[in-house]
């Protein structure tokens, strides 16, 4: 194992010390609801500092901390109600983050994005192009790779499509001085620009909202004219071939393509515009993302998900390190989630679906792991409810993969069952720590989370099987999962409830009137009750016709599969919860459904969280949700 051999013995001591199982007594609800104490830490280029979201006072704040106690001072920034979507280090002194907030525009709520430059010592926080930008003002295309505090930022300057500023321009900005220079002027139809590792804006994707056609513009470097390199017609199901990585070799790139059934990586010739040899693929699953070298012009690994998240490292040194980590934690997962520029320091997450997990720092010069922090200091890293992946057949023979969580230390038979469909719906569940599922299993419930047809990660054919099937065959897949659990003897057919959020909340509402013979109750958090109203809300976003067209492909008759129109047919008790400050699904989706249920004199409970958003950013909201869910389930499908 070379220079990483010393990690193994030290690592085992760190992981398995103090991992005794919890007792059969219920774990306090508040422990499951706790916000992650440390979330997504990212190392600076040198590895001397890291930035992360941390829990403090029941909410999340942004923290920049030295790795060693002798380093620079720790900095904490309260992000308030802002949705900090992502951040990255530009150099040792500056970070850049993308934030979102809801603002009033002509009397209506609009989701507005901005880029924020953050000085690592906390002395400066700058919202870039605050006043010049319109709705979209935070598209970070590139950061300098040589230590300069420079970025490329794409943004609009108008919300009106008949103005040139409606289409994105690109500025080169120095974060230290604030100086900026426009390097790409607005081009009609183009909202998305892409840059290479040297800061050349190489590509732009243009879309026509009227004809639903798209174009891919390309040039070799800044100063050259853009040429159309690909065209696609949405109505014909065509898609653009978009380079995902410009390689160091001139005229060469990598692209994703699913022509063999799943998303795989291929060579791409920028001169002939042709796809070449398939380089990397995963049997039966899509490749999710790529990992690049420090220069940004070479592939060193790729990530995918089968039953859990995995990385295939192509760099020999990183491959060796990953192997050493895997060998040292045979019953857990070790993921390298951040690394410094010269690959001497790494942040490693260790956990599994039954353990909240911990973060460790590994330094090749020390040759050992040091604990950085736990995800949940109440639950620590003890093992909780067992989780496994199962497969069952849908009624049409389609194989459905699902995650099954069962109570620890109890016989897995005749249990009350929670059917828990994921949101998206183009998303998926996997074997990973899930605070909802673990809480429910702690209370004595079995939890089944199917990756129903239309879920992501399983290739194009599986995704297309969800087309036109919202509330129909996708709903059947859930029902067939319940049938499987009953046939296996796991579930008591008289104690089944469906619980979900976002699209999962929609599925719960839909089940409440569609399948009362299967489900004894339903719980929706931030669910969609009216698909047409959701489409109307999305009209305030760019290229809205594209999203409306996609939704109507998934549900051709929006009215027939919208729960709002079936309130009088609801036959099971419903718990509806929604955050008033939800930016993704408007709170009116639950308010209007509650009003319709009241008019129809149906049994339900509606709880509106005044400060709540779509992501449970406040610990108090998480606690309240679990309290409401626990009481509701105890009333309608009690644990024996």
Inter-residue contact 79 to 376 (CB < 8 Å): no
505 and 437 together in one domain: yes
Inter-residue contact 79 to 87 (CB < 8 Å): no
Mean pLDDT on 457-475: 95
Residues in the chain: 640
Inter-residue contact 96 to 88 (CB < 8 Å): yes
Please indicate whether residue 373 or residue 537 has the higher confidence score (pLDDT): 373
Residue by residue, DSSP assigns 445-504 as -EEEEEE-TT-SSS-HHHHHTTTT-TTTHHHHHHHHHHHHHHHTT-EEEEEEEEEEETHH
Mean pLDDT on 311-326: 95
83-89 vs 94-105, strand pairing mode: antiparallel
456 and 342 together in one domain: no
Residue 190 lies in a domain: no
Mean pLDDT on 186-200: 92
CATH code of 593's domain: 3.40.50.1820
pLDDT band at 51 (very low <50, low <70, confident <90, very high): very high
What's the pLDDT tens digit per position in 249-259?
A: 999 999 999 99
Residue 137 lies in a domain: no
454 and 588 together in one domain: yes
Inter-residue contact 278 to 262 (CB < 8 Å): no
Residue 213 lies in a domain: no
CA distance 468 to 366: 56
pLDDT band at 194 (very low <50, low <70, confident <90, very high): very high
Task: Give the structural domain span for 17.
Answer: 1-80+315-384
pLDDT at 2 over 50: no
Which pLDDT score, from 0 to 100, does residue 70 have?
Answer: 67
Which pLDDT score, from 0 to 100, does residue 508 have?
Answer: 98
Residue with tokens 């038979």: 413
Question: What is the chain's alpha carbon radius of gyration, rounded to the nearest angstrom?
Answer: 25
pLDDT at 247 over 90: yes
Alpha helices in 313-448 (DSSP H): 316-328, 435-442
For residue 192, what are its two tokens? 């998305």
Which of 344, 369, 384 is the C-terminal boundary of a domain? 384
497 and 358 together in one domain: no
Residue 404 lies in a domain: yes
469 and 559 together in one domain: yes
The DSSP 8-state label assigned to residue 168 in this structure reads: -
Q: What is the pTM of this model?
A: 0.91
pLDDT-wise least confident of 8-22, 162-176, 386-400: 8-22
CA distance 357 to 374: 6
For residue 428, what are its two tokens? 């998926």
What's the pLDDT tens digit per position in 560-605?
A: 999 999 999 999 999 999 999 888 899 999 999 999 999 999 999 9
CA distance 367 to 378: 29
Inter-residue contact 438 to 411 (CB < 8 Å): no
Mean pLDDT of the chain: 89
523 and 541 together in one domain: yes
Alpha helices in 17-139 (DSSP H): 29-33
H or E stretch including 149?
none
Beta strands per DSSP E along 526-582: 574-579
362 and 486 together in one domain: no
H or E stretch including 263?
none
What's the pLDDT tens digit per position in 468-494?
A: 999 999 999 999 999 999 999 999 999
What's the pLDDT tens digit per position in 261-285?
A: 999 999 999 888 899 999 999 999 9
Mean pLDDT on 230-237: 73
The DSSP 8-state label assigned to residue 33 in this structure reads: H
CB-count burial class (<10 Å; 0-12, 13-18, 19+) for 221: exposed
Please indicate whether residue 6 or residue 295 has the higher confidence score (pLDDT): 295
For residue 202, what are its two tokens? 């190489």
400 and 378 together in one domain: no
pLDDT band at 14 (very low <50, low <70, confident <90, very high): very low
CA distance 599 to 595: 6
Residue 152 lies in a domain: no
pLDDT at 228 over 70: yes
CA distance 381 to 87: 27
418 and 530 together in one domain: yes
380 and 391 together in one domain: no
Backbone φ and ψ of 13, nearest 5°: -60, -40
β-bridge partners, 464: none
9 and 71 together in one domain: yes
Task: Write the Ramachandran bin of 419: left for phi over 0, alpha for psi from -120 to 50, otherwise beta.
Answer: beta
400 and 376 together in one domain: no
Please indicate whether residue 85 or residue 532 has the higher confidence score (pLDDT): 532
Which of 345, 369, 384 is the C-terminal boundary of a domain? 384
For residue 34, what are its two tokens? 């706790």
Inter-residue contact 362 to 346 (CB < 8 Å): yes
Which pLDDT score, from 0 to 100, does residue 402 have?
Answer: 98
Which of 349, 384, 419 is the C-terminal boundary of a domain? 384
Residue 87 lies in a domain: no
213-218 vs 227-233, strand pairing mode: antiparallel
Which pLDDT score, from 0 to 100, does residue 135 have?
Answer: 86
Residue 307 lies in a domain: no
Task: Write the Ramachandran bin of 296: left for phi over 0, alpha for psi from -120 to 50, otherwise beta.
Answer: left
pLDDT at 506 over 60: yes
The total domain count for the chain is 2
574-579 vs 604-609, strand pairing mode: parallel
Percent of the chain residues past pLDDT 70, beyond the cut: 91
When mean pLDDT is compared over 223-237, 356-370, 408-422, the highest value belongs to 408-422
pLDDT at 13 over 50: no
Residue 119 lies in a domain: no
């Amino acid at each position: 194992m070379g220079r990483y051999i010393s990690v193994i013995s030290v690592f085992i001591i760190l992981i398995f010390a103090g991992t005794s199982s919890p007792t059969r007594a219920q774990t306090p609800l508040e422990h499951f609801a706790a916000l992650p104490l440390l979330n997504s830490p990212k190392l600076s280029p040198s590895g001397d500092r890291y930035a992360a979201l941390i829990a403090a006072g029941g909410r999340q704040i942004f923290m920049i901390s030295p790795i060693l106690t002798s380093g620079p001072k720790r900095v904490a920034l309260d992000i308030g109600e802002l949705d900090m979507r992502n951040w990255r280090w530009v150099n040792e002194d500056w970070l850049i983050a993308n934030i979102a907030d809801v603002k009033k525009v002509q009397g209506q709520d609009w989701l507005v994005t901005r880029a924020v430059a953050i000085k690592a010592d906390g002395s400066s926080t700058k919202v870039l192009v605050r006043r010049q930008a319109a709705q979209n003002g935070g598209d970070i295309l590139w950061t300098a790779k040589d230590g300069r505090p420079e970025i490329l930022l794409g943004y609009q300057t108008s919300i009106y499509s008949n103005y040139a500023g409606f289409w994105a321009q690109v500025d080169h900005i120095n974060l230290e001085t604030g100086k900026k220079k426009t390097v790409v002027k607005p081009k009609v139809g183009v909202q998305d620009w892409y840059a290479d590792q040297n800061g050349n804006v190489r590509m732009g994707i243009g879309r026509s909202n009227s004809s639903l056609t798209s174009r891919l513009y390309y040039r070799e470097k800044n100063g050259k004219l853009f040429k159309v390199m690909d065209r696609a017609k949405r109505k014909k199901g065509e898609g653009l071939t978009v380079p995902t990585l410009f390689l160091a070799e001139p005229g060469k790139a990598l692209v994703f393509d699913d022509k063999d059934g799943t998303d795989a990586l291929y060579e791409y010739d920028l001169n002939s515009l042709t796809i070449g040899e398939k380089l990397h693929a995963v049997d039966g699953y899509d490749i999710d993302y790529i990992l690049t070298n420090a220069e940004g012009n070479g592939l060193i690994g790729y990530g995918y998900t089968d039953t859990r998240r995995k990385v295939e490292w192509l760099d020999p040194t990183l491959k060796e390190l990953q192997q050493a980590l895997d060998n040292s934690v045979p019953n857990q997962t070790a993921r390298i989630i951040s690394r410094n520029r010269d690959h001497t320091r790494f942040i490693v997450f260790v956990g599994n679906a039954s353990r909240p997990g911990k973060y460790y720092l590994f330094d090749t010069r020390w040759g050992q792991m040091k604990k950085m922090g736990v995800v949940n200091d109440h639950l620590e890293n003890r093992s909780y409810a067992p989780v496994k992946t199962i497969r069952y057949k849908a009624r049409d023979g389609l194989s459905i993969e699902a995650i099954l969580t069962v109570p620890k230390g109890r016989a897995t038979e005749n249990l009350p069952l929670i059917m828990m469909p994921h949101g998206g719906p183009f998303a998926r569940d996997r074997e990973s720590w899930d605070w909802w599922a673990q809480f429910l299993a702690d209370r004595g419930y079995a939890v089944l989370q199917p990756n129903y047809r239309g879920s992501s990660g399983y290739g194009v054919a599986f995704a297309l099987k969800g087309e036109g099937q919202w509330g129909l065959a996708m709903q059947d897949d859930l029902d067939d999962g319940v049938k499987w659990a009953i046939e296996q003897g796991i579930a008591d057919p008289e104690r089944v409830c469906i619980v979900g959020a976002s699209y999962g909340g929609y599925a719960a509402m839909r089940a409440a009137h569609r399948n009362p013979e299967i489900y004894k109750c339903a719980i929706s958090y931030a669910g969609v009750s009216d698909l047409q109203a959701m489409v109307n809300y999305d009209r305030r976003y760019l290229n809205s016709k594209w999203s409306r067209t996609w939704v109507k492909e998934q549900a051709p008759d929006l009215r027939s599969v919208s729960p709002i129109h079936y309130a009088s047919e609801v036959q099971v008790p419903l718990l509806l919860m929604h955050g008033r400050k939800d930016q993704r699904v408007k709170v009116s989706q639950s308010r209007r459904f509650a009003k319709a249920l009241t008019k129809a004199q149906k049994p339900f409970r509606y709880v509106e969280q005044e400060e709540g958003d779509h992501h449970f950013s406040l610990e108090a909201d998480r606690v309240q949700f679990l309290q409401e869910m626990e009481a509701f389930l105890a009333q309608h499908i009690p644990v024996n």
